[in-house]
C-alpha cells in the first residue's frame, strides 16, 4: 500500500511539474541551410587551393578569409545563431570527405585533427571576427 501511495505521489508530481526541455535556436531550418552554404563554400575553396598546390596553411588562411568576407557582407539575420563549434565540426567533416584523402586525413581522427587545426588557424587569421556574427 505504501508503494502504491509513493508511486501515486510521484506520478502527480511529474504531471504538475513536467521536465524542462531545452530548445536550441539553431533548429531553425534556415540556420541549417545557411550553415550548409558556408560549409560547402569553405570546403570548395580549401580543396581547390590544395589541388592548386597551396600549402595547407595557405589554403586554410585563404579559404577562411574568402568565406569570412562572404559572411561579413551577408544580410542574413540567421548568421547570429550559428555556433562556431558546430560550424567547425561540419566544415571538418565536409573537407575530410571532399579532399581529406589527398593530404592524409581520413576517418574520425582526420576530422578531429582538421577541426582543431581549423579553429587554431581561424583564431590567428581573424581574431576580431567570428564566422557567425
Q: What's the structural domain count of the chain?
A: 1
Question: DSSP letter string over 4-54?
Answer: HHHHHHHHHHHHHSPPPPP--GGGSHHHHHHHHHHHHHHHHHHHHHHHTT-
Residue 94: inside a domain, yes or no? yes
34 pLDDT above the threshold of 50: yes
Residue 39: inside a domain, yes or no? yes
Residue 14: inside a domain, yes or no? no
What's the pLDDT tens digit per position in 81-121? 778 888 899 999 999 999 998 888 889 999 999 999 999 98
The pLDDT confidence band at residue 122, using thresholds 50, 70 and 90, is: confident
Which 3 state secondary structure label does DSSP give 31? helix
Cα–Cα distance, 64 to 60 (Å, whole number)? 6
Residue 41: inside a domain, yes or no? yes
Residue 85: inside a domain, yes or no? yes
Residue 55: inside a domain, yes or no? yes
CB atoms within 10 A of CB 19: 5
Residue 3: inside a domain, yes or no? no
CB 99 within 8 A of CB 85: no
Tell me the residue range of the domain where 93 lies: 33-125
Residue 10: inside a domain, yes or no? no
Amino acid at each position: 500500500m505504501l508503494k502504491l501511495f509513493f508511486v501515486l505521489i510521484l506520478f502527480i508530481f511529474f504531471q504538475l511539474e513536467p521536465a524542462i526541455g531545452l530548445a536550441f535556436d539553431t533548429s531553425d531550418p534556415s540556420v541549417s541551410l545557411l550553415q550548409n552554404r558556408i560549409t560547402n563554400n569553405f570546403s570548395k575553396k580549401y580543396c581547390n587551393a590544395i589541388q592548386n598546390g597551396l600549402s595547407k596553411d595557405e589554403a586554410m588562411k585563404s579559404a577562411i578569409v574568402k568565406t569570412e568576407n562572404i559572411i561579413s557582407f551577408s544580410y542574413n539575420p540567421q548568421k547570429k545563431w550559428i555556433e562556431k563549434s558546430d560550424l567547425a565540426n561540419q566544415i571538418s567533416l565536409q573537407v575530410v570527405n571532399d579532399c581529406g584523402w589527398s593530404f592524409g586525413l581520413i576517418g574520425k581522427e582526420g576530422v578531429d585533427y582538421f577541426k582543431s587545426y581549423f579553429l587554431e588557424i581561424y583564431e590567428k587569421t581573424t581574431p576580431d571576427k567570428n564566422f557567425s556574427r
